[in-house]
Amino acid sequence: MSTLSAADSLPARLPLRYKSTWENLAKRQEGAVMYVSGYQDEERLYATMEDTLGSLRDTVGIHATDVFLEIGCGVGRVGRGLAPFVKEWIGCDVSAEMIRQAQRKTLGLPNVRFVEVSGHDLQPVPDASVDVVYCTVVFMHLAQCDRYAYCLEAKRILKPGGRFYCDNANIASAEGWEMFEGVRTRFAPGERPAQASRCSSVPEFETFFAKAGFENWHVATRPMWVYGWGVKPDRPAST
Ligand SMILES: C[S@@+](CC[C@H](N)C(=O)[O-])C[C@H]1O[C@@H](n2cnc3c(N)ncnc32)[C@H](O)[C@@H]1O
């Protein structure tokens, strides 16, 4: 007698929905800003940019000679403030509409460019071509495997000695738990929207930085957030 497991009733392949999800959100009437920040007020959006610049300064550092790349750049909240301090800022996003809006908001900045990515890798970006990769307020929208895939991609595109920063809501913080419970209780199983926020934890970040092969890495917390940063070794890994 054969038994039917839950896996047998799943579709053969789960659809890859990052692109369609974020393209639709960016085009909604309430606007891309709403889905980037949770509010519609643009002034408030750009006020938070200083906090993010402060985090980058305190972790990976910001130098005039650096090529920076942001994974999931949204409407350019961070890039707009960062570009004047660096050699080049590259905004990557899965949504062409987010990129269009970011282009409008960074008009006049000569050292800014954008790359539309698949949602699973940074394939158009050459190996060892960037000094700093960062990813902020994006991991919460990704499955855990895809977060790690971006850690590996960050390492691939970083120059030897290049720096990587990422963050996510921390499930062990009061605010992170509130967010987790909000999603769990608000939506029935199977009705959770694809972009619904998912937390990380300190052990997840420590594991990703170590397994991806970063060195001199650190993982820290602040209210709501877990964040980590590390350096790509400047010599090939020993076998
Ligand atoms: C909450 S917004 C954050 C935007 C920006 N990092 C900021 O802090 O202002 C999330 C962004 O990630 C993008 N995104 C979502 N899934 C992605 C994926 N798999 N790969 C690349 N970008 C993604 C969305 O299109 C959106 O622009």
Give residue-wise pLDDT tens across range 204-218. 999 999 999 999 999
Ligand 1, atom 20, residue with closest C-alpha: 119
Q: Which atom of ligand 1 is nearest to the CA of 25?
A: 25
> In whole angstroms, how far apart are CA 27 and each of 55, 62, 212?
30, 32, 35
Residue 31 above 80 pLDDT?
no
pLDDT for 6 equals 54
Cα–Cα distance, 191 to 223 (Å, whole number): 29
Distance 71 CA to ligand 1 centre (A): 7
Distance 85 CA to ligand 1 centre (A): 22
pLDDT for 129 equals 98
Cα–Cα distance, 62 to 64 (Å, whole number): 7
Ligand 1, atom 18, residue with closest C-alpha: 119
CATH code, residues 41-230: 3.40.50.150
Average pLDDT over residues 223-234: 97
Which of 50, 53, 93 most suits a substitution to test ligand 1, by most atoms within 8 Å of the C-beta? Answer: 93
Q: What residue type is assigned to position 79 of the chain?
A: G
- Is the Cβ atom of 176 under 6 angstroms away from ligand 1? no
Ligand 1, atom 27, residue with closest C-alpha: 74
Residue 9 above 60 pLDDT?
no
Element (H, E) at 94: none
pLDDT for 231 equals 98
- Is the Cβ atom of 167 under 6 angstroms away from ligand 1? no
Distance 122 CA to ligand 1 centre (A): 13
More confident residue, 157 or 15: 157
Which of 22, 35, 99 most suits a substitution to test ligand 1, by most atoms within 8 Å of the C-beta? Answer: 22
Residue 11 above 60 pLDDT?
no
Distance 141 CA to ligand 1 centre (A): 8
- Is the Cβ atom of 134 under 6 angstroms away from ligand 1? no
Which among 171, 216, 161, 225 has a CA at the least distance from the CA of 198? Answer: 171
Categorize the per-residue pLDDT at 197 as very low, low, confident or very high, splitting at 50, 70 and 90: very high
> In whole angstroms, how far apart are CA 78 and each of 69, 114, 131, 172?
11, 13, 17, 26
Contact 31, 25 (CB under 8 A): no
Ligand 1, atom 12, residue with closest C-alpha: 72
Q: Which atom of ligand 1 is nearest to the CA of 120?
A: 19
pLDDT tens for each residue of 147-195: 999 999 999 999 999 999 999 999 999 999 999 999 999 999 888 888 8
For residue 101, the tally of other CB atoms under 10 A from its CB is 21
The residues spanned by each domain of the chain are 41-230
**Structure pTM?**
0.92
pLDDT tens for each residue of 90-109: 999 999 999 999 999 999 99
pLDDT tens for each residue of 56-66: 999 999 999 99
Tell me, rounded to whole angstroms, the distance of Cα 119 from its chain centroid: 10
- Is the Cβ atom of 166 under 6 angstroms away from ligand 1? no
pLDDT for 43 equals 77
pLDDT for 47 equals 80
Q: Which atom of ligand 1 is nearest to the CA of 74?
A: 27
